[in-house]
Structure 1
Amino acid sequence: MTLSLDQAGRQAWQWLEAAAEFSETRDVDHEGVTRRCATGEHRRVLEALTEWMEALGMSVRLDNAANLIGRHASHSPDARTLLIGSHQDTVPHGGKYDGMMGVILPLALVMYLRGNDISLPFHIDVVAFSDEEGTRFSSTLLGSKVLAGTFEPEMLKTTDDQGVTLHAALEAFGCDPTRIPLDRYSPEEVVAFLEVHIEQGPQLEHASLPVGVVSAITGIERHQVKIHGMAGHAGTVPMSLRRDALVGAAEVIRLVDVLCKETKDLVGVVGKIENAPNGVNVIPQTTTLSIELRSPHDEVRQRARKYLIEQIGVALETLDLAFGHTLTYEQSAVQCSSWLTATLEEAVQDCGIEPLVLFSGAGHDGLAMADLCDIGMLFVRCREGVSHHPSEAIEPEDLTAAVEVLVHTCQRLARRQPLA
């Protein structure tokens, strides 16, 4: 008896519902899912995943960074390995699907392969990364950095809000942090890394498509801009003589908005503003704001940055305001492998779906895994583009579509010589 794609999709839905129960908060109370690295909730979800993996005939292991890895073995013991996975952790009061869907869907894939006696010339390792969000330790991409071999031991000294170090938390979880370097994969043993993730945006829904292919993971930079004016009485200083820092901030916000709307593949936001002295009848003397720019093309982002800082300088000089500027964070974009992106596009077409290629405006484990191997990503439609929120939602039938794309992707990889 064969297993249908609908059955695999329905099982994925049931697993996702069950996984959402392992949370500090409860979705039934509209508080979303909160699951942090190396906590009781993390342990319980890994126990459930282990049970589901073993029921599929997979071998299961926990590495020293608390990544859970289940292997669907090839008929060839010396075969290379296709890594597929995502993160188990969430933001506080997050949704059911960000991260976890990318762990569950490859299990549904394995279920379908086994149910239909489909053999592959490579192993499939399904990975539940321990920590991508960095919610507990600010240890962003912990799990994937370990597998990629770029983990920095200094990260083990980071602490959570209770002062517990990452090292101590991993030890309490049953890991040996001193052995983390041994958990890396070697490039020679890996075919590629695939991640399936909710889109976290509205483009697929607007296009009425269940899935889309990711071309790149965005580059990000953040800035702090501090604008200096002069405080004064709001009722006595003439408007023409004022040096209002908050007025300068408004102009900066306008410049960011215009630049991002007029520049292809660029998005940005002024997300944080602090104003001083912050009195109702005092002209603002100092306004500090954040600027974030994102683009899948580093040259676009860097060119936009240069232009923006120049424009800010001109605008604030006109207002007789001074400013200081600091680049506080920068992360380069990562391009998905062209051959793997093409393979995913072809697999989407195999399913009778129009392939839409789009870039990811959010970071993912692929940022770290790209240091190990070629990466590819498949997006699944999410309702109204909402993510990192309890109302995060997907359509059950889209899970079936994603499983089908994964099946065709694996079959196309099996026919590819060489595999990478």
Structure 2
Amino acid sequence: MTVHAPATLVEPTRIDEDLAQLASLIDDTTPGYTRQALTDIDIAGRQWVLRRFRDAGLDSRIDAAGNVIGILPGTNPAAGTLMTGSHTDTVEGGGRFDGNVGVVAALEAVRTLRETGTTLTHDLMVVDFFAEEPNRFGLSCLGSRALMGHLSAADLNRRDEHGTRLGDALPGAGLNAVDMLSAAVETGTIRAFLELHIEQGPYLEAHGSQIGLVTSITGITRFRGLFSGRRDHAGTTPMSHRRDAGCAAAGTVLAIEAIASSHPDGRGTTGAVTFSPTAVNVITETATLTGEFRSPDLDWLADAASQLDVAAQAQASQRGVELQLDWVPSESPALMDTSLLDICAGATEDLGLHQSRLYSGAEHDAAIIAKHIPTAMIFIPSQDGRSHCPEEFTHAAEIVDGATVLLNALIRIDKAATAGRAR
């Protein structure tokens, strides 16, 4: 029996129109839909979001961390805030849905609330988080980290492969490193965070589910290996006399694959391998490898790191190559709030949509926020499980389903939090 009469979006076609406009704001010198953080095109994208927020009646600004923030005031300023949103930056050659869906769906939810005269007790904060995707400095979710007070001076001292500091790259995106470190909000006043996102995997499609409710978000450990061998002539140096850094790195790539394949929820990826020199007639003197492991199992992540250390050392040792293996501070798996998930489940059921519960193998701003604020994620299907590629696709009707669940879940969370304070 339906307890709540579900709200419907006033004009859902605006979601598709917004997604199309965002898809036009891309770097057309690269394939796919590229709008990477710390670029001029990303600045243009965030300015577009800022204008859309203001057009929707949100009190909007771009904060010191580059986040686009819009506030829809509630009826009780002392009640606190509900937060929703996602991100609009992309990976190079990525797709046009990814985090974009969560931002424009939240925007359409706000439009519906205002145009139907539906008021919330809590303020509603809608956020387009800055730099969610991994960047050349090896640190993702910059905006949400800063907002939660998780960004440090050491983070801003990270350097890319050319030696440029992250802090020195921020002015090019209109940001100041010192100000970014003081961009944290008072998390105690934020009652809940809800993020809508495409699944980026095949689970929902395989199970015939229109909505996914995320139980946890994967933990991640990232690493960088520097293999140092000896430069010699490729034609005159016997195979037994070589100290080939490239071969040591190549063996380690296969070890990463084997380690990750040993666990059903393990994932291991080599992001890049670079050789120097690159001449075909010179034995590789140095090789640099970057990669990551992912899993919702924190113990396995620690074990995978130990296995990789042993395997990489073995690859280097048998070739007389030196190895420096560095680990980027890891992200532990993030659990979603069960009470919020139950509210989302109720909203989904009342809308007559089939749902599944699953963990997320992708990284999200929600994982950072969940460390401080009760958090839930809603997934919608990705066709063929494809993402981070130009072929990434989710049907407009599926996006509307997700946005409608988001709208109804926010209304229910507002009522539940209000009732909880009244008791």
Length-normalised TM-score, structure 1: 0.79
Letter aligned with residue 32 of structure 1 = Y
| Aligned-residue offset at 1:213 | 2.0
Mean Cα displacement is larger for which, 380-389 or 248-257?
Answer: 248-257
Distance 1:323 1:291, change over 3 A: farther
| Aligned-residue offset at 1:181 | 5.5
| Aligned-residue offset at 1:291 | 4.9
Letter aligned with residue 420 of structure 2 = P
Q: How does 1:254-265 map to 2 (within 5 A)?
A: 254-265=254-265
Distance 1:347 1:323, change over 3 A: farther
Q: Secondary structure at the match of 1:98?
A: coil
CA distance in 2, matches of 1:147, 1:231: 50
CA distance in 1, matches of 2:274, 2:157: 31
Partner residue of 1:383?
Answer: 383
Distance 1:143 1:236, change over 3 A: closer
| Aligned-residue offset at 1:76 | 1.5
Partner residue of 2:75?
Answer: 75
Q: Secondary structure at the match of 2:79?
A: coil
Q: How many residues align?
A: 410
Letter aligned with residue 23 of structure 1 = I
Q: Deviations over 1:218-257 (max 9, x none)?
A: 2222252749799898899699x99988777666555443
- For the Cα contact (< 8 Å) 1:227–1:248, is it kept in 2? no
Q: Secondary structure at the match of 1:194?
A: strand
Letter aligned with residue 124 of structure 2 = I
Letter aligned with residue 95 of structure 1 = G
Partner residue of 2:334?
Answer: 335
Partner residue of 1:165?
Answer: 168
CA distance in 2, matches of 1:54, 1:310: 54
CA distance in 2, matches of 1:302, 1:156: 26
CA distance in 2, matches of 1:337, 1:304: 24
Q: Secondary structure at the match of 1:85?
A: strand
Partner residue of 1:18?
Answer: 21
The answer on 1:303 being equivalent to 2:306 is: no
Q: Percent identity?
A: 26
- Cα RMSD (Å): 4.1
Partner residue of 1:418?
Answer: 420
Unaligned runs of 5+ in 1: none
- For the Cα contact (< 8 Å) 1:205–1:381, is it kept in 2? yes
- For the Cα contact (< 8 Å) 2:133–2:140, is it kept in 1? yes
Q: Secondary structure at the match of 2:410?
A: helix
Distance 1:232 1:130, change over 3 A: closer
Mean Cα displacement is larger for which, 98-107 or 42-51?
Answer: 42-51
| Aligned-residue offset at 1:7 | 4.7
CA distance in 2, matches of 1:403, 1:128: 16
- For the Cα contact (< 8 Å) 1:347–1:405, is it kept in 2? yes
CA distance in 2, matches of 1:278, 1:159: 23
Letter aligned with residue 9 of structure 1 = P
- For the Cα contact (< 8 Å) 1:109–1:407, is it kept in 2? yes
Q: Secondary structure at the match of 1:5?
A: coil
Q: Secondary structure at the match of 2:355?
A: coil
CA distance in 2, matches of 1:157, 1:271: 22
| Aligned-residue offset at 1:131 | 2.2
Distance 1:37 1:192, change over 3 A: farther
CA distance in 2, matches of 1:397, 1:105: 12
Partner residue of 2:225?
Answer: 224
Partner residue of 2:35?
Answer: 34
| Aligned-residue offset at 1:345 | 3.5
- For the Cα contact (< 8 Å) 2:64–2:179, is it kept in 1? yes
Q: Deviations over 1:329-353 (max 9, x none)?
A: 2412231333233433443333333
CA distance in 2, matches of 1:406, 1:314: 50
Distance 1:58 1:316, change over 3 A: closer
Partner residue of 1:350?
Answer: 350
CA distance in 2, matches of 1:373, 1:144: 12
